[in-house]
Amino acid sequence: MKKVLLLLIILFSTIKVYALELTPNAKSSILIEPETKTIIYEKNANEKVAMASLTKMMGLIIIFEKLDNGEIKYTDKVIASSNASGMGGSQIWLETGEKMSVDELLKGVIMASGNDAIVALAEYVAGDEETFVKMMNEKAKTLGLKNTNFVNVTGLDEEGHFSTAYDLSLIATELMTHSDVFKYTTVYEDYLRKNTDNKFWLVNTNKLIKTYKGADGLKTGMTDNAGYCMAVTAKRDNMRLLSIVLGEKEGKVRNKETEELLDYGFNQYEMIKIKEKGEILKEINIDKANPNKVTVTLDKDILVLQKRNNPKKEYTSEIKIDNLKLPLKKGDVIGKLLVKDGTNTIKQVNLVSNEEIKKENFFKLWLNVIKNVFTGNLIN
Q: In whole angstroms, what separates CA 13 from the centre of its chain?
A: 36
Whether residue 150 contacts residue 136, with contact meaning beta carbons closer than 8 Å, is answered with: yes
Euclidean distance between CA atoms 35 and 38, whole angstroms: 8
Q: Which of 29, 113, 169, 353 is catalytic?
A: 113
Predicted pLDDT of residue 329: 86
53 is catalytic: yes
Give the chain's end-to-end CA distance (angstroms, integer): 88
Q: Which residues pair with 297 in a beta bridge?
A: 280, 352
27, 56, 107, 219: the active-site residue: 56
Catalytic residue check, 56: yes
pLDDT the model gives residue 123: 98
The pLDDT of residue 371 is 53
**Residue 14 pLDDT:** 45
Is 235 marked active-site?
no
Q: How far is CA 68 from CA 29, 74, 217, 358, in A?
A: 31, 10, 20, 29
Report the pLDDT value the prediction gives residue 2, as an integer from 0 to 100: 54
Question: Which of the residues 28, 29, 53, 163 is marked catalytic?
Answer: 53
Phi and psi angles of residue 175, each rounded to the nearest 5 degrees, phi first: -60, -40
Q: What is the pTM of this model?
A: 0.85
Q: Which amino acid is at 98?
A: E
Domains and CATH numbers, the chain: 25-270 (3.40.710.10), 276-362 (2.60.410.10)
> Which mean pLDDT values do the consecutive 10-residue runs of the chain (380 residues) have?
50 47 96 94 98 98 98 98 95 97 98 98 98 98 98 98 98 98 98 91 97 98 98 96 98 98 97 88 76 83 89 87 82 88 87 80 48 50
pLDDT at 289 (0 to 100): 60
**Rg (the chain; Cα; Å):** 26
Helix pair angle (115-126, 129-142), 10° resolution:
90
Residue 363: predicted pLDDT: 45
Query: What is the per-residue pLDDT for 380?
Result: 40
